[in-house]
A = this chain, B = another copy of it.
Amino acid sequence: MTQSGDECGRVPDPVVERLSVYSRVLTVMLREGAITISSADLSERTGFSATQIRRDLAFFGQFGTPGVGYDVWRLHARLERILGVDIERRVVIVGAGNLGTALIGYTGFREHNFRIVAAFDIAPGRVGVTTQQGVRIHHVADLGRIVADEKAEIAVLAVPVAAAQPALDVVVKAGLRAVLNFAPTQLAVPPGVRLRNVDLSVEMGALSFYLGQDS
């Protein structure tokens, strides 16, 4: 059942991830002054096959011109709309240790229209601090109230393994439906909550594995 223009059936995870890449490449091309781009050009810039790119875009209707390609500005705008990054997304960081503070300082968030509105920790030495970037570190006990006040939508978990599940429970109870977890551990989420994991230990393990393969 094709809707007004935003959603068309269930979109495979790999497709969503590639859309993000397309969007990023188009941002660069816009700056370069490109007017149109073919799937073959996009293929060269992303490493994904031209067929795959056309197929991915076809999930959301057809906006290419046969014989010409895609209008860069229009396609970019459309992708940002689909990904929901045309509006500012408000993010909270849970855990203000090594990684948490690095994330707060990461300029890439702003560039992609994500705004860190607050951070949380439980260590007395960290709570109450305001970072260089102007992000206030609150106690996790205040998370529910602040998430509501700040209208945050996404939580990033940068806490130790042992604190990850409790932290997730807190952000879910606060009503957040999208969570990015950096703790290398399996977490249980209630249905309706989207959890994505960035697992450094898995990444390193995989690289280590391949070292032993082709040698």
Q: List CB contacts (< 8 Å) of A175-198 with chain B.
A: 177-180, 184-186, 192, 194, 196, 198
In the complex with contacts A184-B108, A200-B198, A210-B194, A205-B83 CB distance below 8 A: yes
Chain B residues contacting A47 (CB-CB under 8 Å) are 186
Distance in angstroms between the alpha carbons of A11 and B210 in the assembled complex: 10
* Least CB distance, A86 to chain B, in whole angstroms: 10
Contacts of A98 in B (CB 8 A): 101-102, 105-106
Q: Is the CB of B178 within 8 A of A208?
A: yes
Residue in A23, A46, A112, A192 whose Cβ sees the most chain B Cβ within 10 Å: A112
- Judged by DSSP, the binding face of A is helix
Question: Is the C-beta of A17 less than 8 angstroms from some C-beta in chain B?
Answer: yes
Chain A interface bracket (under 10, 10 to 19, 20 to 34, 35 or more): 35 or more
Does any Cβ of B come within 8 Å of A45's Cβ? Answer: yes
Structural contact, B196 and A207, CB atoms closer than 8 A: yes
Given contacts A99-B106, A106-B200, A186-B46, contact A208 B23 (CB under 8 A): no
Nearest Cβ in chain B — how far from A122, in angstroms? 18
What are 27 A-B contacts with C-beta separation under 8 Å? A7-B212, A16-B205, A16-B209, A17-B202, A17-B205, A19-B205, A19-B209, A20-B205, A20-B206, A24-B185, A46-B186, A83-B212, A84-B208, A84-B211, A85-B205, A91-B204, A98-B105, A99-B106, A101-B102, A102-B102, A154-B208, A177-B210, A178-B210, A179-B207, A192-B214, A194-B210, A194-B211
